[in-house]
Chains A and B, each alone.
Chain A
Amino acid sequence: MPTPEVPAGQPPALELLDVHASYGRIEVLHGVTLSIAPASVFALLGPNGAGKSTTLKVIGGNVAATSGCVHVMGTHVNGASPDRLARVGVCRMPEGRGVFPNLTVAEHLRIWTYSAGVSRGEVEDRTYARFPRLAERRRQLAGTLSGGEQQMLAMSRALAGEPGLLLLDEISMGLAPLVVADLYEVVGALARDGITVLLVEQFAKTALEVADHAAVMTHGRVQISGRPDQIMGALSDVYLGVAS
């Protein structure tokens, strides 16, 4: 398995070493090893049930790794609670809509200040500058927003805090292509600002367009990893089980 090139002397933004994880008695990650260079976009691809979301949950502290190591910026973070990780800059966007249906847009921004470490005014300025639509709807309940607006609101959490590591779990799910393009533009902008992004997608093409590096998972293991163009070529073989 080729290891991604990481600049010497600088620890990778995220490193997984032989991570195993299970739900109850069923193991779903059978030794995942990954390494992501700082300020890059890494796409994690694979079919349903491959363990992509679980990998993100392990990094975000929602699922405990049964063995193996998770390093964020060179620090061992196994066993840290999700909220603690969030406060030190690991921002995980859960699958589906990462918003609270019964809170208004403005109230969401208030909650984002827990991890952002900046004032409420600052969070509002950054969000409304990037998503003017949310400014119009600041008094509206999130549950009544459109799917795209909800995803914008969810993404505003990443904008607010300038996290060190952004974990995105299928942000394109159920959204119109135009909205998806818009969201990925934000992802690209965040990466240019120096934020490391790990994104999980089922739609390989969208993800590979923004990624600097990619890997494909099946059956709880990383099968191949490499540059997006290499992955694109090998993708169907991995999905169909030829390459393993």
Chain B
Amino acid sequence: MTTFLHFTVIGLVVGCIYALTASGIVVTYTTSGIFNFAHGAVGMFAAWTYWQLRVDWHWPTPAAFLFVIGVIAPAMGVVIERLLIRPLHGAAVDLTLVVTLGLFLTLIGLVTWIWDQNKIRVTPHFFARQSVAIAGFRVTYEELLVVVAAVVVAIGLRLLFNRTRIGIAMRAVVDDPDLVAAAGANPVRIQQMSWALGTTLASLSGVLLAPIVTLTVIPLTLVVINGYAAAVIGRLRSLPATVVGALGVGLGYNYLIGYSNSAFLRNVQLIVPMIALFIVLIVLKPARLRLSSLNIVRMPRPASPRAALTWSVLLVAAAAVVGPQLSVVNLRIASHGLALGVVMLSAVLLTGYGGLASLCQMTFVGLGAYAMGHVGGHAGNPLGLVAAAALAAGFGVLVALPTLRLRGLYLALATLAFAQAMDTVFFTQVLGAGGAIHVARFYPPGVPHTDSAYFVELAVVFALAGAGLLAVRRGPFGRRLSALSDSPAACATLGLDINRTKLLVFAASAALAGVGGALWEAVPGQGSNNDFLMLQSLVLLLLVRIGGINTVTGAFLAAAFYTGFQILQSHYPAVGNLQYLLTGIGAMTLGRSPNGMGGRVAEAAAELRARRAAPRSPEVSLAHA
């Protein structure tokens, strides 16, 4: 009984922290229509700032607490609204997702850049862990503080949104900012206030968490991400349902800690919030997502078969010429980048052509590497590649089946939950924490087993995959994908089988990612579970978005950017910290140019073609451009 009480109390405290986080997400979503993926990272950033003030600069606890919650947190909201959210007005859901993910990475990059991550930091407990007996049970003041904060916030938000004029205006502004202005209120100011409120709630949960969990970037961010599940239980709309959901997730999580006695269950316990998120997404009838206006981003025209052939030959030739010139280290990095390019092509197929945002591509990579490791043996049996494609495709279908009716934000959340679950359970279980798996390289018969030959082989694979993708894009399946991406409803009225198309594209993309993964991990010869973290999937997606999600050129540019950065890092280790920061910042600029660098290249090529078609009257082609 005491054990039960003990875990109930802890569960409630954890649930209260989830409730704070989730309320912040719901507040931001209901008032601006944007799901802030960076919510957890904002809380994490606030926790580090609090540590800086409280521990490093020896501020008194109340002063540090109030300064972070009352000044820094709202200021972050105002800055985020001004720089990132206002330009997104009327943008597609998909773009808001990428921009907030970019913010997420930027904040992580910023923290790792400012604070040396190798130092162990401890945030002192509030009230020095003093406790009080309540009904014969000892509860620390810190736990009481968390509960009181959650209750005050819950009641405060309810009053704000139902009783006060500004709160009502906050709910109104998301539907029609122009009408709010016509009624005499300043919609920009209101939007700013709701973002400030959202970041304040995120920071509050971050600071309250800081003494409880260790101050490390990723776990701290992930704990706050666990609030996503509660927010989705509240269907991103209802605050009471969100609070109940948060308490439920917190309790379930802690009962599993208390009563699980197998190692497997203990692993499962770590992903309770993710399982909850996945189940809720599948079971609950999703609330209608706020649809932005029909803001269609024009897709770049796919390259012609002749251009594809020319560039493929050029790529392979360049690889054959450049490969032997590179140093051993640089060649490995370049091979790594090229293999990752194949994985990026899988994202182009799924997200760029099919319009399905997936945050779990690296999971398929891991599965591919795992299959290659087991089936490929030491000689790099080609059957290993087949197994990689098959295993990844199988899991692709497994993810796609329950999520068939999800799109946009909900699909992204479901794949995120899947990636996190696979990351915590599957890869750590089969590879062991920090464990590695041997992955052999496949060489076609008659090819010398050298690094430079493998580099050329990767170039051939990339060229084949790229040309294949372009062929698909120009063919009937490509047209079906474009139609699916533009309007599933219109597809259905035309009699297209949406479900089959979705399953097929998910399976094909996963298979490509699996093969890419098998080739990728074979470059160093082994893969560890750190390579397949959920976070890596985000980085990958953002890199491809920066390169250009709907062009093969975009995937190549993203791979080149990644490679260049890795080479730079191997020579100047100091820049290593900047990768997340730069990727995040790059993604945040996508609000202004959604097709990325690949889109720019396609535009330039189109203009060039137009000019060449009408050489004598260049002004005409300009007028058309």
Question: 26 A-B Cβ contacts within 8 A?
Answer: A61-B181, A82-B178, A82-B182, A83-B181, A83-B182, A83-B185, A86-B184, A92-B182, A94-B182, A98-B179, A98-B182, A100-B171, A102-B172, A102-B175, A107-B172, A110-B168, A111-B172, A111-B180, A111-B185, A114-B165, A114-B169, A114-B184, A114-B185, A116-B184, A157-B182, A157-B183
**Within 8 Å of chain A (Cβ to Cβ): is B619?**
no
How far apart are the CA atoms of A60 and B180 in the complex, in Å? 13
Complex Cα gap A169–B519 (Å): 63
- CB of A81 closer than 8 Å to a CB of B: yes
B residues whose Cβ falls under 8 Å from a Cβ of A: 165, 168-169, 171-172, 175-176, 178-187
Closest to B165 in A: A110
Given the complex, which residues of A lie within 8 Å of B186, measured CB to CB? 81, 83
How long is the Cα–Cα vector from A232 to B554 in the complex, in angstroms? 60
CB distance A111 to B178 under 8 Å? no
Contact present for B182 and A111 (CB under 8 Å) = no
List the 3 shortest-distance A-B pairs measured between CB atoms, nearest first.
Answer: A115-B184, A114-B184, A86-B184
Query: For this complex, into which size category does the number of interface residues on chain A fall?
Result: 20 to 34
Query: Nearest Cβ distance between residue A156 and chain B, in whole angstroms?
Result: 11
List chain A residues, Cβ under 8 A from B183: 83, 86, 111-112, 114-115, 157
A215 within 8 A of B: no
Enumerate chain A residues within 8 angstroms of B187, measured Cβ to Cβ: 83
> Among B168, B172, B181, B182, which residue has the most Cβ atoms of chain A within 10 A?
B182
Determine the distance from Cα of A116 to Cα of B182 in the docked complex, in whole angstroms.
11
Q: Is residue A179 within 8 Å, beta carbon to beta carbon, of the partner chain?
A: no
Additional A-B contact list (11), CB under 8 Å, known A103-B172, A157-B183: A83-B180, A83-B185, A92-B182, A99-B179, A100-B179, A102-B175, A110-B165, A111-B172, A112-B183, A114-B183, A116-B184
**Alpha-carbon gap, A83 to B175, bound state (A):** 16
Check: A113 CB closer than 8 A to any chain B CB: yes
For B185, the chain A residues whose CB sits under 8 A away are 83, 111, 114
Pick from B168, B172, B182: contact of A60, CB below 8 A.
B182
Interface on chain B toward A: helix, strand, loop, or mixed SS? Answer: helix
Alpha-carbon distance between A62 and B187 when the two chains are bound, in angstroms: 13
Q: A83-B187, A86-B183, A86-B184 are in contact. Are A62 and B168 (CB under 8 A)?
A: no
Q: Is the CB of B181 within 8 A of A94?
A: no
Which residues of A sit under 8 angstroms from B172, Cβ to Cβ? 100, 102-103, 107, 111
Instruction: Tell me whether A111 and B169 are in contact in the complex, defined as CB-CB below 8 angstroms, given that A83-B187, A102-B175 are known contacts.
Output: yes
| Cross-chain contact A91 with B171 (CB below 8 angstroms) | no
A87 located at the interface, meaning its Cβ lies under 8 Å from any Cβ of chain B in the complex: yes
Contacts of A74 in B (CB 8 A): none
B180 neighbours in A (Cβ, 8 Å)? 83, 111
Q: Which residue of A lies closest to B162 (CB)?
A: A107
- The residue on B at minimum CB distance from A163 is B184
Contacts of B165 in A (CB 8 A): 110-111, 113-114
A115–B185 alpha-carbon span in the complex (Å): 8
A101 in contact (CB, < 8 A)? yes
Task: For A112, give the chain B residue with the smallest CB separation.
Answer: B183
Contact residues of A between 66 and 91, Cβ < 8 Å to B: 81-83, 86-87, 91
Q: Give the docked Cα–Cα distance between A110 and B181 (Å).
A: 14
Which of the residues B168, B175, B178 comes within 8 Å of A101, measured between beta carbons?
B175
Q: Which residues of A contact B182 (CB under 8 A)?
A: 60, 82-83, 86, 91-94, 98, 157
Contact with B along A19-51 (1 / 0, CB 8 A): 000000000000000000000000000000000
Give chain A residues whose Cβ lies under 8 Å from the Cβ of B176: 100
Q: How far is the CA of A161 from the CA of B183 in the complex (A)?
A: 10
Q: Report the Cα distance A35→B182, complex, angstroms.
A: 22
A239 to chain B, nearest CB (A): 30
A34 → B minimal CB distance (Å): 20
What CA separation (Å) do A111 and B183 show in the bound complex?
A: 7
**Complex: chain A residue closest to B172, CB-CB:** A100
Interface centre among A60, A86, A91, by most chain B C-beta atoms within 10 angstroms, is A86
In the docked arrangement, what's the CA distance between A61 and B187, Å? 14
Binary flags per residue of A141-161, CB closer than 8 Å to B gives 1, else 0: 000000000000000010001
Residues of B within 8 Å of A114, CB to CB, are 165, 169, 183-185
Question: Are A81 and B168 neighbours in the complex by a CB distance under 8 Å?
Answer: no
A100 to B168, CA, bound (A): 11
Do A107 and B168 have beta carbons less than 8 Å apart?
yes
Kindly provide the distance from the CB of A60 to the nearest chain B CB, expressed in whole angstroms: 7
In Å, the complex CA distance between A107 and B178 comes to: 17
Residues on B with C-beta less than 8 A from A157 are: 182-183
Whether the pair A87, B184 counts as a contact (CB closer than 8 A) is yes
Smallest Cβ distance from B368 to chain A, in angstroms?
45
